[in-house]
Amino acid sequence: MFDLLGTVDRLLKADSDMKLIDYKEQIVKLRKGIVELEEELAAEKEKSLRLTRDVKNKNSSESLADILIYKDGVYMPDEDAGGYPAGTAFCPRCKSSEGKIMPLTIQSDLFQALSKYKCPECNEHFT
């Protein structure tokens, strides 16, 4: 993955000897990094929508809320329940305040230092 933050940092620390062409090359790299991040974000949004549909359509005698356990600051399906990909997590804020079972998106590697998950509904971040 492109080192977007490193490139920005290099540009901010650049000395006066840096040539215009060097700046232009760095700007092209930044644009490429932004496009990659936008593509990754779109893929994560699609995954979140798919998980939301799966949750709504899950035909089970047991409701999803009954199989969720609170673990590491988020709700996760009980491992014995099956049917969910590893790492599937649900928003504790939406569940407690609104009663919604909202799947969280996993942040890209670039943002995982800040938080591992983000809720597409309430925009809350979770580590």
Is residue 115 scored above 90 in pLDDT? no
Give residue 67's pLDDT. 82
Is residue 4 scored above 90 in pLDDT? no
Residues 37, 92: contact at Cβ < 8 Å? Answer: no
Give residue 15's pLDDT. 64
Angle between helices 4-12 and 20-57 (to 10 degrees): 150
Span 45-58, average pLDDT: 78
User: Which tens digits make up the pLDDT trace of 24-46?
Assistant: 888 888 888 888 888 989 989 98
pTM, entire model: 0.50
Give residue 60's pLDDT. 43
Q: Which of 13-22, 53-62, 67-76, 99-108 has the lowest mean pLDDT?
A: 53-62
Cα–Cα distance measured from residue 119 to residue 16, given in angstroms and rounded to the nearest whole number: 43
Domain map of the chain by residue range? Answer: 4-126
What is the average pLDDT score of the chain?
79
Cα–Cα distance measured from residue 123 to residue 61, given in angstroms and rounded to the nearest whole number: 31
Give residue 81's pLDDT. 66
